[in-house]
């Protein structure tokens, strides 16, 4: 069933709005005429991501922490819709520090949804995760078939889904969860020990070094370009389809590629800027704890309920992504 957009201007809170997905979504919402409030504590978000947005009278930054309920209550004042993206990502980081991951992703989530409820805001859209599928081996991944979590991070994201379901049924809220699958694109941070694979590969190759692939390179993922994610974020925020509410949706392209394919596609795109990269081959390291071998999403539910129509496959997204990195990072 196709959704209908609510066309009028909205006042939208985006938690984690200075992060990779958050800043791109904020930019798009502001460009469409909405007032956007960003709540971020800059643990993983970057001020440079919102530097241009801060010049707009339609964008407002609240520097605060979702672990502090008073910050959450301040942020939801006079808000129409909440898009809750703030979280501490990364499976390896959660394995190294499960307490902080739990504190931000579960306690912070609960603070935000309680503050949203208490402010009388109905629509609460939140970032879930494909890690929720855990040890389920079924492919493609469909929303109602999950396994046991394989990391503390996966546990925390699933708890968010459970809380959202209870808050919908108990308090009449309109909650929608979005299980993101390996999102990539402009502004994704290539630095740090927990950087995602695509910006890490790009950055390493731009420095004429050999990227390390965890395992033998045959693990596969449903890599999802940022513009597809922005699209479904908005569809979930603005849908008037009542059947779409209190649901969780896969956010992906619906195709999988293994890490070896990914490396060579990135290298091919970079060679058009720097021919020296053509001879660089990957190195291989140990498999990473908590990683599942393969991930491929069914996006049928999002298509049916939210009218989701992804615009970029992996190759199209990588072409734009590599161009952005080459233009914005010093070689």
Only one residue has tokens 């819709």, namely 81
Q: Tokens representing 134?
A: 């855990």
Q: Which of 43, 41, 119, 116 is nearest to 84 (CA)?
A: 116
The whole-angstrom distance between residue 37's C-alpha and the CA centroid of its chain comes to: 18
Sign of CA pseudo-dihedral 180, 185, 188, 191: positive
- Indicate which residue of 126, 133, 153, 163 is catalytic: 153
How far apart, in whole angstroms, are the C-alpha atoms of residue 179 and residue 182?
10
Any domain includes 216: no
Domain count, the chain: 1
Q: What is the pLDDT of residue 330?
A: 54
pLDDT tens for each residue of 125-141: 999 999 999 889 899 99
Any domain includes 63: yes
Q: For position 65, which CATH number holds?
A: 3.40.50.720
How far apart, in whole angstroms, are the C-alpha atoms of residue 129 and residue 134?
10
Residue 328 pLDDT level (bands cut at 50, 70, 90): confident
Any domain includes 43: yes
- 153: annotated active-site residue: yes
Among left, alpha and beta (phi > 0; psi -120 to 50; other), residue 185 is left
What's the farthest any 2 CA atoms get from each other in the chain?
60
**Read out DSSP for 12-76?**
EEEETTTSHHHHHHHHHHHHTT-EEEEEE--SS--GGGGTTGGGSTTEEEEE--TTSHHHHHHHT
Any domain includes 321: no
% pLDDT > 90, the chain: 87
- Domain span holding position 91: 11-184+225-253+296-310
How far apart, in whole angstroms, are the C-alpha atoms of residue 46 and residue 187?
9
How far apart, in whole angstroms, are the C-alpha atoms of residue 114 and residue 306?
26
Residue 1 pLDDT level (bands cut at 50, 70, 90): very low
How far apart, in whole angstroms, are the C-alpha atoms of residue 107 and residue 201?
33
Q: Tokens representing 313?
A: 């496959």
241 within 8 A of 174, measured Cβ to Cβ: no
Any domain includes 259: no
Has residue 270 got a pLDDT over 60?
yes
Q: Average pLDDT, whole number, for the chain?
A: 93
Any domain includes 218: no
pTM of the model: 0.93
Q: What is the pLDDT of residue 237?
A: 98
292 within 8 A of 139, measured Cβ to Cβ: no
Q: What is the pLDDT of residue 7?
A: 55
Any domain includes 258: no
How far apart, in whole angstroms, are the C-alpha atoms of residue 49 and residue 140?
34
Any domain includes 215: no
Only one residue has tokens 């999002």, namely 302
pLDDT tens for each residue of 182-223: 999 999 988 876 678 999 999 999 999 999 998 899 999 999
Torsion, Cα 13 19 25 28, to 10 degrees, reads: 110
How far apart, in whole angstroms, are the C-alpha atoms of residue 66 and residue 110?
9
pLDDT tens for each residue of 40-81: 999 999 999 999 999 999 999 999 999 999 999 999 999 999
């Amino acid at each position: 069933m196709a959704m209908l957009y609510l066309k009028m201007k909205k006042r939208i809170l985006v938690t984690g709005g200075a992060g990779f997905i958050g800043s791109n979504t904020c930019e798009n919402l502001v460009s469409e005429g909405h007032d956007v409030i960003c709540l971020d504590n800059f643990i993983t978000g970057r001020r440079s991501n919102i530097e241009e947005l801060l010049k707009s009278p339609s964008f407002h930054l609240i520097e605060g922490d979702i672990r502090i309920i008073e910050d959450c209550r301040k942020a939801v004042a006079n808000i129409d819709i909440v898009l809750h993206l703030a979280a501490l990502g990364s499976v390896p980081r959660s394995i190294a520090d499960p307490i902080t991951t739990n504190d931000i992703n579960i306690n912070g989530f609960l603070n935000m949804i309680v503050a949203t409820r208490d402010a009388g805001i109905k629509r609460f859209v939140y970032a879930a995760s494909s890690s929720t599928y855990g040890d389920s081996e079924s492919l493609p991944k469909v929303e109602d078939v999950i396994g046991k979590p394989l990391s503390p991070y996966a546990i925390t994201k699933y708890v968010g889904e459970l809380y959202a379901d209870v808050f919908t049924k108990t308090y009449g809220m309109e909650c929608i969860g979005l299980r993101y699958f390996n999102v990539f694109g402009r502004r994704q941070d290539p630095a740090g020990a927990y950087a995602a694979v695509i910006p890490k590969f790009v950055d390493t190759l731009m420095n004429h070094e050999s990227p390390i692939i965890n395992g033998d390179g045959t693990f596969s993922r449903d890599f999802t370009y940022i513009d597809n994610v922005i699209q479904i974020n908005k569809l979930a925020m603005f849908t008037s389809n009542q059947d779409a509410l209190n649901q969780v949706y896969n956010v992906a392209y619906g195709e999988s590629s293994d890490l070896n394919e990914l490396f060579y596609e990135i290298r091919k795109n970079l060679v058009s800027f720097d021919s020296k990269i053509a001879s660089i081959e990957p190195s291989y390291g140990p498999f990473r704890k908590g990683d599942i071998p393969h991930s491929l999403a069914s996006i049928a539910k999002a298509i049916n309920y939210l009218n989701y129509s992804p615009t970029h496959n992996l190759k199209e997204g990588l072409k734009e992504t590599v161009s952005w990195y080459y233009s914005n990072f010093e070689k």
